[in-house]
Amino acid sequence: MNPYVEKWLDRHTEDLSLWRRHIHANPELARQEYATTEFVAKHLRAAGLEPKVLPRGTGLICDLGPTGGPRIALRADMDALPMQEATGLPFESTVPGVSHVCGHDAHTTVVLGAGLALASMPELPIGVRLVFQPAEEVMPGGALDVVAAGGLDGVARIFALHCDPRLEAGKVGMRVGAITSAADTVELVLDSPGGHTSRPHLTGDLVYGLGAVITGLPGMLSRRIDPRTGTVMVWGAVSAGKAPNAIPRTGMLAGTVRTGDHDTWQLLEPMVREIVHGLLAPTGVSYELNYRRGVPPVVNDEVSARMFEDAIRATGPDALADTPQSGGGEDFSWYLEHVPGAMGRLGVWPGVGPELDIHQPTFDLDERALAVGVRVMTNLVLGAA
């Protein structure tokens, strides 16, 4: 462990909790993170750094260390979810219907702490860029805002941590390859002349068409795509009709299709359109298909993942943990379309009691994980030269 980092943590571990709790109590939705941006910028300026707010007014980047050479980027996301918190914590969200049950308060605190710890050192082996990103929770994601603003210019690699409530605090998960999945949305609106259920042959049976797509699209995708890619199609919403003896005129389906394979992600939209057309063409039901691409999978390249593993091991002999690929999406993947990098899983479970999942009203985390995250992020920089 680096003595400068440990000295900084001795002085500021309590501050990490205070910062996280302040952000937690004052959540802001995507692209509304004005106060959070100013909170982070204020602390960076106090350390003599010069943060630059992104053009939209939320999110910022901040460089430190040597200039002129490649930089290591450390990324945190800042936005909260449109969800009512139900933790009852003393620092529970003060904003009705908005909360940091996503863990982004911890992500922001960890990168802020890592940046300030690195700024306390007399010199760094490589340049560093802190990336505090807005709007991770909306598609296609605020990472694209950062890229468009030149946030990756001069960056050689980028790293991030994401809270994992299934890992105990003190452990950090890492894997080579896909660690999250691409996540696209499929919305299908069907139209038919409608009719009486006694005479389906005289109209397009819209409900029958819905049923054909509900079962047929996921089934055909499972036969057209290599199962090793982790591709899955699941419907989340369906509606049509009210009367049992009337064939409805309109109906709707909505769901998601996810994959852990980048090449498969490129093929999904045309394949979905082809299959839907084939399923509905014989029914006489017309339709409109809205396919919205979300984010690519986060694919940790091997070099970056090995750097991450070394940084984790340096925090303790038992800190490194395996982690499975998640079916969730993460817009950190957009950065990896431009530069290599990796995302790790920061354990936040206290080790006793239930594992409180993210994106749930009761989510909370063990704040001992904050110092672990700072150590890992600073180790990544100090070991990168």
Query: What is the DSSP secondary-structure string of 139-178?
Result: SS-THHHHHHTTTTTTEEEEEEEEEEEEEETT-EE--SEE
**pLDDT tens figures, 340-371:** 999 999 999 999 988 889 999 999 999 999 99
Has residue 384 got a pLDDT over 90? no
Letter for the amino acid at 337?
E
Spatial contact of 111 and 80, defined as CB atoms under 8 Å apart: no
Question: What SS3 class is residue 130?
Answer: strand
Residue ranges of the binding site for Mn(2+): 102, 104, 137, 162, 359
Proportion of the chain above pLDDT 90, given as a percent: 95
Residue ranges of the binding site: 102, 104, 137, 162, 359
Vertex 170 angle, CA 167 and 171, to 5°: 45
**pLDDT tens figures, 125-176:** 999 999 999 999 998 899 999 999 999 999 999 999 999 999 999 999 999 9
The two tokens of residue 347 are 């354990």
Rounded Cα gap, residues 332 and 199, in angstroms? 53
Predicted pLDDT at 252: 98
Q: Which domains does the chain have, with CATH numbers?
A: 3-180+298-383 (3.40.630.10), 182-292 (3.30.70.360)
Strand partners, 287: 190
Rounded Cα gap, residues 345 and 366, in angstroms? 14
Name the pLDDT band for 68 (thresholds 50, 70, 90). Answer: confident
